[in-house]
Every structure is written in structure tokens, then in C-alpha cells.
Amino acid sequence: MEDPKITTLPAEKTRLFTGIEAIKEELSKIETLTSSPWTTSGNFRWNPGYLGNDPINIHKSKSIGALLSIDAYIRVKHEEYVKSAEMRNLKSYPVFTWLEYTYNQWKHDLDIRIAVISQKDRVDQLTADKKELEQFLDKEDRMSILLDKMGL
């Protein structure tokens, strides 16, 4: 009679490696989404002409609500700017900017920051799961993974 540990170990090891790889892949996708370079300084002001109020740094903000409000504000300003030019039948006019950045540049940075905030819990969970799974790797498996990372 065969020892059940010997016959199930390779299958469990395969599941372990598959689980770790799936987590790494998902973390990589999230990293790609959230690591795009910034296109603005991040310093937003509701009233650019009044320097008495402190800017809101959208690159560091932790409030999705504040970031959505900023996006809505700039988007409406941009849309109204375009409508104003269209009402005057202008075929050519300067690109709308807010604090020297276009709406698309602001949107890009806002999208990144919102993704970072909204994915934080998922990243934390995946990282914890990966760490827990890696505890079941034996010394040879850990060495093999390290050598693979090093390209050797």
C-alpha cells in the first residue's frame, strides 16, 4: 500500500506554486496600474488666483471623495470651456489648462491615486496570503525561486 503523503505531496506542492504565482501575477497587474508616472505637480487649488489657501496634493491625498470632487470640478470647467469656444464657432483655441495642466493630465494623476487607494486593502491581503503560502516552501524551493529571480 502506498503512503498517501508521498502521492499527495507533489499535487499539493503544485497547488502551492500555482497559488504563489497567481498572487504574484495579480500584484504585478496592480503595480502596473498604480505605478504610471505622474503628469502634474499634484498641487491642486480650487482658486488658482488666490494663493492664501494651501494646495491639495492629489499625489498624497487619502480621500477618494476629495479626489472625485477635484475631478468633477476640473471636468466641468473643461467642458464649459470647450462649449464656450464652440458657441463662438471657434475652430482653433488654446487648450484648457488648470494650473498649467490639461484636464487629461489631471485625470491621469487622479486615476492613479484613486487606484492606489482603492487597491490598498487588496494588495495588503495578497501580500499577507503570499507570505503565508511561502512559509510552506522547503529550503530547496526557496533557493530555486531565489535563483530564478536572479536569472541564474
Query: Is residue 29 a contact partner of residue 15, using CB atoms and an 8 Å limit?
Result: no
Let me know how many helices (H) and strands (E) the chain has, helices first: 4, 4
pLDDT value of residue 109: 97
User: Mean pLDDT, to the nearest integer, of 50-75?
Assistant: 92
Is the full-model pTM beyond 0.75? Answer: no
Residue 102, classed as helix, strand or coil, is: strand
State the pLDDT confidence band at 9, using cuts at 50, 70 and 90: low
Range of the domain at 105: 4-149
Task: Using a pLDDT cut of 90, give the percent of the chain over it.
Answer: 62
Higher pLDDT, 149 or 81: 81
pLDDT value of residue 5: 45
pLDDT digits (tens, 9 = 90+) for 91-117: 999 999 999 999 999 999 999 999 999
* Alpha-carbon gap, residue 128 to 142, rounded angstroms: 17
Domain count, the chain: 1
